[in-house]
């Protein structure tokens, strides 16, 4: 394993640990839409006659399949979250892509229906680190570490939170902020 690969895996593992710590109420931790149990994953079924995204073979979708094959990651269907991000009364799917090891999530894909067709609505891939996705109140928030010079791999001094909301035709950038990480103040 190259030094760069090891560094990337350590960064991803650090972010995963930091996100778990923040979700316990620190640094603005908010509820996540990721299901804790399979029952929660199916809590909001599609309205009668509407397509049910839970019945789709999401890992077989071309963009996701190509990314997984190229990156060596894996679509983590057990942690796929469902929320109505498009405000159409039908749940969309937020599919995290795991590094396949201790590195955490290396991308997130959002799928939903447009004109009755399953469509990739958004793809987020950080350049140098991992990410954590959560849905709250119909919005998708992506959290990534921001390392300052001298920050240890476990502990970035800041977190970048990017929020996407439906603007009527696409998931677009609604907010982008950098905040101090828990314990770095």
Tell me, yes or no, whether 36 lies in a domain.
yes
pTM for the whole thing?
A: 0.74
For residues 160 and 178, give the distance between their C-alpha atoms in angstroms, rounded to a whole number: 4
At 42-82, the pLDDT tens digits run 445 566 677 899 999 999 999 999 999 999 999 999 999 99
Give the model's pLDDT for residue 102. Answer: 72
Tell me, yes or no, whether 102 lies in a domain.
yes
At 84-102, the pLDDT tens digits run 999 999 999 999 999 877 7
Domain count across the chain: 1
Tell me, yes or no, whether 185 lies in a domain.
no
Tell me, yes or no, whether 139 lies in a domain.
yes
Phi, psi of 157 (to 5 degrees): -80, -20
Tell me, yes or no, whether 71 lies in a domain.
yes
* Domain ranges, residue 136: 3-180
Which of 45, 179, 159, 71 lies closest to 123 in space, CA to CA?
Answer: 71
Tell me, yes or no, whether 77 lies in a domain.
yes
């Amino acid at each position: 394993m190259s030094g760069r690969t090891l560094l990337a895996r350590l960064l991803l593992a650090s972010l995963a640990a930091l996100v778990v710590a923040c979700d316990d109420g620190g640094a603005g931790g908010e509820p996540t839409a990721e299901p804790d149990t399979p029952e929660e994953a199916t809590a909001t079924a599609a309205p009668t006659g509407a397509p049910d995204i839970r019945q789709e073979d999401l890992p077989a979708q071309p963009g996701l399949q190509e990314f997984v094959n190229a990156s060596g990651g894996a679509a983590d269907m057990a942690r796929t979250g469902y929320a109505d991000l498009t405000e159409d009364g039908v749940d969309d799917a937020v599919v995290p892509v795991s590094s396949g090891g201790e590195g955490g999530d290396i991308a997130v894909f959002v799928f939903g229906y447009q004109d009755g067709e399953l469509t990739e609505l958004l793809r987020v891939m950080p350049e140098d680190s991992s990410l954590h996705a959560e849905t709250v109140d119909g919005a998708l928030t992506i959290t990534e570490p921001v390392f300052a010079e001298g920050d240890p791999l476990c502990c970035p001094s800041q977190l970048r939170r990017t929020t996407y909301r439906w603007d009527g035709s696409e998931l677009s950038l609604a907010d982008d902020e950098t905040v101090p990480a828990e314990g770095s103040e």
